[in-house]
Amino acid sequence: MTARHFLTGAELSSAELGGLLDRALELKRAPLSSRALEGRSVALIFEKPSTRTRLSFEVGIDELGGHPVVLRSEELQLSRGEALRDTAIVLSRHVAAIGVRTGPDETLEQLAEHSSVPVINMLTARHHPCQALADLLTLREAYGSLEGLRIAYVGDGNNVARSLATLGTLAGMHVAVASPDGYSLEDGISLPAGASGLVTLHSDPREAVRDARAIYTDVWVSMGDEAAAKERRAALASYRVDDALLDGGAPGAFAMHDLPAHAGEEISAEVLYGERQRIWDQAENRRHAQKALLELLVSGPA
């Protein structure tokens, strides 16, 4: 049997996504109730820094009875030119799943092609689907059903925006994305099979946030974009999420951010540390959502 991978999130059906979020809510209520990874190990390859992803995967795997094996890429033979193919074959002989954080999506795809165990995208330049699972879980906790829910993403049309659009539309949501010229989610409208939601692209943040129940933002300078940091900050300066922008959303709209944040840049400190946000819940929900994902990929539906 070929392994089920989770590379962009579009691998899930909308019914599987709904089931995964239900399961994540159960696991959040009873974190030690599943032994889905009892006696098994999961490799976590990091080619880039991480706080939340590493923490939530390591602790989550441990809570499922498994053993996380963190592999920094500079410590692997990969850094001395060993083939991705060979690395994938060897890892598959030892572990139940492989998480990968890297730059090029092609690196992830090659590992997945040659791995006989599930490969999970822990962030690439184009996608961050594990983050989107936690985001949808946070929205479910706040609003119940996701079907027809409108949210806005304001800022750089990056990996986080793309995954929010991919998984959000699979859940039936309307994701309105506002970005300046040159930073838009150019292919945000290529929706996954079975998606019943909608992505709209805007340049005016106030237009995108109208009727939005949550207003999401991410850093203006992602990992790998540092060389153009100055231009990016200038282009995105009027896309900050602050109280005034939240006032333009639906009543009770709250801010979301995947973190790390730059207070005073893409989000005001008042919003980041205030009451009109669910950002710290999102960070916690990474663990619950990823545990449900691991259960699904490694053991099949609960």
Give the binding site for ligand NVA (CB under 6 A).
Answer: 123, 158-160, 218-219, 222-223, 258
Which two tokens mark 296? 């699904």
Interacting partner of 14 out of ligand CP, ligand NVA, none (Cβ under 5 to 8 A depending on kind): none
| Count of positions on this chain that bind ligand CP (CB under 6 A) | 9
> Taking every pair of C-alpha atoms in the chain, what is the biggest distance, in angstroms?
55
Cβ-proximal residues to 197 (8 Å cutoff; 6+ apart), any chain = 168, 169, 170, 171, 172, 173, 174, 175, 191
144-161 per-residue burial string, b: 16 or more CB within 10 A, e: under 16? eebeebbbbbbbbbbbbb
- Asked whether position 70 contacts ligand CP by CB under 6 A, the answer is no
By beta-carbon proximity to ligand NVA, the closer residue of 18 and 205 is 205
- Asked whether position 52 contacts ligand CP by CB under 6 A, the answer is yes
Q: Which amino acid is at 192?
A: P
Site map (CB under 6 A) of ligand CP, residues 117-146, x = contact: ------x-------x---------------
Site map (CB under 6 A) of ligand CP, residues 181-220, x = contact: ----------------------------------------
What is the distance in angstroms between the CA of the first residue and the CA of the last residue of the chain? 19
Residue 299 has what DSSP assignment? Answer: I
Interacting partner of 104 out of ligand NVA, ligand CP, none (Cβ under 5 to 8 A depending on kind): none
Q: Which amino acid is at 278?
A: R
- Minimum CB separation of residue 148 from ligand CP in Å reads 27
- Minimum CB separation of residue 267 from ligand NVA in Å reads 13
**Bridge partners of 215?**
152, 255
Residues that bind ligand CP (CB under 6 A): 50-53, 123, 131, 258-260
